[in-house]
Structure 1
Amino acid sequence: MAKKSPSVNIKKGDTVKVIAGKDKGAQGKVIRVLREERRVIVEGVNRIKRHTKVVNSGSGNTGGIITAEAPIHVSNVMLVEGDGVTRVGFRRDEVTKRRADGSTYTAERSVRVSRKSGKEI
């Protein structure tokens, strides 16, 4: 049986605020979500410098010091909503869907909601 990957309530494109660590208080947009490691890469947050050497100079890699964002654990970020931050919840909404033959049926759809305001995210 395949192991289920852990769920992460933060999605790519969300604006988050760092609530713990050296960059506490910083806000940024999520560039990438690493579900297996339960980490996110946030624009302008947790920046590291990597020293790279020239490899095969004809390929264009000039080497030097490269600054990039490192992953940060999802427990250290919160979703930004309006002026503050909020936790993420889920709600099941009933929707009507249409089949290829034209008939309709009802189904449930899971939507992310703000725990603070109850609005759909």
Structure 2
Amino acid sequence: MKIKKNDEVIVIAGKDKGATGKVIRAIPKEERVVVEGVNLIKKHKKANPAGGQQGEVVTKEAPIHVSNVAIVEDGNPVRVGYRFEEDGTKVRISRRTGKDI
């Protein structure tokens, strides 16, 4: 997966198209990412009288498919490529500018 945790991304498809945010969590096995402030859902929590907890409605981020987001560079979405350094390390680069990400 070319998008990692802490990357700044923009949503390019779906109900939150155009929204930007930071990747909170990457789930490579499912090809999904959780982006801060994007794809918000309401989760209803059941009350637990024995524990003294009230029921509540919690708003939280749900995972979004990685194909619906792109890394942001200078305010524009960019595609990600790879380059190998002379010492053999793999580096992510921007396809638009060629700079390291």
Q: For this structure pair, what is the TM-score category when the shorter chain's length is used for normalisation?
A: over 0.9
**C-alpha RMSD of the superposition:** 1.3
Q: For structure 1, which runs of at least 5 residues remain unmatched after alignment?
A: 1-7, 96-107
Match for residue 66 of structure 1 among 39, 58, 61 = 58
Q: What CA deviation, in whole Å up to 9, does each residue of 1:5-37 have, x standing for no partner?
A: xxx100000000000000000000000001111
Q: Give 1:94 shift.
A: 1.0
> Structure 1 runs of 4+ off > 3 angstroms?
none
TM-score, structure 1 as length reference: 0.79
Identity of aligned pairs, percent? 57
Query: What secondary structure sits across from 2:67 in the alignment?
Result: helix
Q: Distance in 2 between matches of 1:92 and 1:61?
A: 53
One-letter code of the match for 1:62?
Q
Match for residue 78 of structure 1 among 70, 85, 90 = 70
* Mean Cα deviation higher: 47-56 or 14-23: 47-56
Matched, 1:33 2:26: yes
Q: Distance in 1 between matches of 2:83 and 2:70?
A: 19
Change (3 A) 1:84 1:55: same
TM-score, structure 2 as length reference: 0.94
Match for residue 110 of structure 1 among 90, 93, 98 = 90
Which protein, 1 or 2, shows the higher relative CO under an 8 Å CA cutoff with sep ≥ 6? 2
Q: For structure 2, which runs of at least 5 residues remain unmatched after alignment?
A: none
Match for residue 52 of structure 1 among 45, 53, 59 = 45
One-letter code of the match for 2:20?
Q
Query: What secondary structure sits across from 1:36 in the alignment?
Result: helix
- Number of residues of Structure 1 aligned to a counterpart in Structure 2: 101
Cross-structure match for 2:99: 119
Query: What secondary structure sits across from 1:94 in the alignment?
Result: coil
Query: What secondary structure sits across from 1:49 in the alignment?
Result: strand
Q: Distance in 1 between matches of 2:70 and 2:53?
A: 36
